[in-house]
Amino acid sequence: MELLSTEIDAIRILKPKKFEDNRGFFYESYNEGTLKKLGIETDFVQDNHSYSKNAGTIRGLHYQIEPQAQVKLVRVIRGSMLDVAVDLRHKSATFGQYVSVVLSAENMQQLLIPTGFAHGFCTLESDTEVLYKTSAFYSPEHERGILWNDPDLNIDWSVPKRDITLSERDTKFPTLADQTDF
């Protein structure tokens, strides 16, 4: 596994070693020992699987507050998406900035998102499936969100606005400037 950096130092891309032959391929998507050797020591407690029928589906921007804040390890097993992490760490030099990375079944890369970040994604293909591990259990009372089209963040979701599909809930989150509890 190779560890790649992004524009925000805390966000990392994991690139697995892929072994191919005439039967297909094999790769380790998760190995606790390998991650520890790379300096990543997180105990994951939950796996999630998301399916999006349409290209242009945006999910997010979600996060959980303490004591249920989550580290996430995100990957795509079918299709592709633009994965986005927004820095919510007030004392960080990159507060309010975001990283966006294309994750796909083809590139097999994973995004490691630490606590202190909101997370969201936009599917770039129909029938996209996403798997992600979390370091804390889902907790509705600790879950929060930021408006997907917050003008101060100005996230380029890589799809025309007319093609975007959202849940009603994701259209009602406050902007980053209006957040009060992170």
- Residues marked active site are found at 62, 132
Q: Phi/psi of residue 34, each to 5°?
A: -65, -45
Can you give the C-alpha Rg of the chain in angstroms? 16
How many residues are listed for the chain in this entry? 182
**In a 3-state reduction of DSSP, which class is residue 37?**
helix
Number of C-beta neighbours around residue 35 at 10 A: 18
Alpha helical stretches, state H, the chain? 32-37
**Kind of pairing between the strands at 128-134 and 46-52:** antiparallel
